[in-house]
Amino acid sequence: MGMVDGKICLVTGGASNPGIGHAIAHKLSSEGATVIVTDLNGDGAAATAAEIVAAGGVAQAWAQDVTTESDWNQTMERIKDQYGRLDALVNNAGIAVLKTLTELTLEDYNRQMLVNMTSVFMGTQRAVELMRATGVKGSIINMSSIVSLVGVPACSAYAAAKGGVIGFTKTVAAETAADGIRCNTIHPGLIDTNMQRQSSVDNPEEYVKLHAAVPMGYMGPPQTIADAVLFLVSDLSTYMTGAQMVIDGGLINQ
Ligand SMILES: NC(=O)c1ccc[n+]([C@@H]2O[C@H](COP(=O)([O-])OP(=O)(O)OC[C@H]3O[C@@H](n4cnc5c(N)ncnc54)[C@H](O)[C@@H]3O)[C@@H](O)[C@H]2O)c1
């Protein structure tokens, strides 16, 4: 018996491998969930779903741009039609625009907010609507970052988006608690994914430095975040809402 047997779970940004969404999709499936993987990269999402099916799980993939309202409407309609319910939404898709304040353009800033914050609003609003309409006491997990909790140079736009996700999540948690719907944030530290590796492409020494910067001595594997998502989707966390889970190998230690 799995921890999330029979639950219908939507994971956005599940194409990147190694990536947090990819690890979450695999983890939820390995514990019995039916997983819908979406991503801007439809072929990558399909590859993740194919891996899950090959491993004996139940998954399907759709292309979805989380910044587009019509894509959110279509995704939720398809879930309603095919499954009649949604037990968990993991708002994981994201980008990192890392520029100092003086380098940032308004276009950079708006793009960062659209992908990492506005998308979370659109997905959460529709998930809550479907959960309420079907009486599902679902779980919504919004991916924030430790950068929303401590100051890090070149992260002002990213931090604004990830910080916005905290206040948004807490407010939604307050509005949906009486429905039994839960909404929490996860705050990863340095996690070894394509996003993190991208910053080291031109500077391999940076990759070594990143590992060394963590008190535990290494960047977290994406599975460490997937384990936390599994807990938040499962019935082990039914009394937890509006909370912030920091998973960072002791990096900010607060
Ligand atoms: N890796 C880290 O150290 C770290 C730390 C803190 C927070 N996070 C957050 O975790 C989440 C996952 O990050 P990751 O490291 O796995 O990144 P990643 O770049 O490896 O994967 C992100 C995925 O999101 C998808 N995506 C981007 N824009 C999209 C859009 N408009 N619509 C749909 N999909 C889109 C990408 O195609 C990609 O598959 C992000 O929200 C990120 O900000 C990551």
In the chain, the domains with their CATH numbers are 8-246 (3.40.50.720)
Query: Catalytic positions, please?
Result: 158
pLDDT at 19 over 80: yes
1 CA → ligand 1 middle, Å: 30
pLDDT digits (tens, 9 = 90+) for 33-44: 999 999 999 999
Residue 204: pLDDT band by 50, 70, 90 thresholds? confident
Structure tokens at 157: 């736009």
| Sign of the Cα pseudo-torsion (121, 123, 126, 131, in order) | negative
Which atom in ligand 1 lies closest to the alpha carbon of residue 44?
A: 39
CA distance 115 to 92: 10
Binding site membership of 193 for ligand 1 (Cβ less than 6 Å): yes
pLDDT digits (tens, 9 = 90+) for 94-126: 999 999 999 999 999 999 999 999 999 999 999
pLDDT digits (tens, 9 = 90+) for 238-247: 999 999 999 9
| Owner of token pair 């779903």 | 49
pLDDT at 254 over 70: no
What pLDDT is recorded for position 206? 80
Q: Could you say which DSSP state residue 221 is in?
A: P
The amino acid occupying position 101 is L
pLDDT at 224 over 80: yes
123 CA → ligand 1 middle, Å: 15
Instruction: Provide φ and ψ at 244, rounded to 5°.
Output: -120, 120
What pLDDT is recorded for position 209? 84
135 CA → ligand 1 middle, Å: 30
Binding site membership of 66 for ligand 1 (Cβ less than 6 Å): yes
CA distance 71 to 40: 10
**What average pLDDT is seen over the chain?**
96
Structure tokens at 134: 């079907």
CA distance 130 to 139: 12
Structure tokens at 104: 């940032």
Which atom in ligand 1 lies closest to the alpha carbon of residue 22?
A: 16
Binding site membership of 115 for ligand 1 (Cβ less than 6 Å): yes
Q: What residue's CA is closest to ligand 1, atom 32?
A: 65
pLDDT digits (tens, 9 = 90+) for 180-201: 999 999 999 999 999 988 877 7
Q: What number is the average pLDDT over the span 4-27? A: 98
Instruction: Please tell me whether residue 12 adopts helix, strand or coil conformation.
Output: strand
| Rounded-to-5 percentages of helix, strand, coil across the chain | 50, 15, 35
Q: Are strands 88-91 and 58-63 parallel, antiparallel or unpaired?
A: unpaired
Binding site membership of 68 for ligand 1 (Cβ less than 6 Å): no
Which atom in ligand 1 lies closest to the alpha carbon of residue 67?
A: 31
What pLDDT is recorded for position 245? 98
Q: What number is the average pLDDT over the span 172-186? A: 99
Instruction: Please tell me whether residue 222 adopts helix, strand or coil conformation.
Output: helix
What pLDDT is recorded for position 230? 99
pLDDT at 203 over 80: no
178 CA → ligand 1 middle, Å: 31
Is the pTM higher than 0.85? yes
Which atom in ligand 1 lies closest to the alpha carbon of residue 162?
A: 43
Beta-bridge partners for 60: 36
* Residues ≥6 apart with Cβ < 8 Å to 116: 94, 95, 158, 161, 162, 165
Share of the chain above pLDDT 90, in %: 93
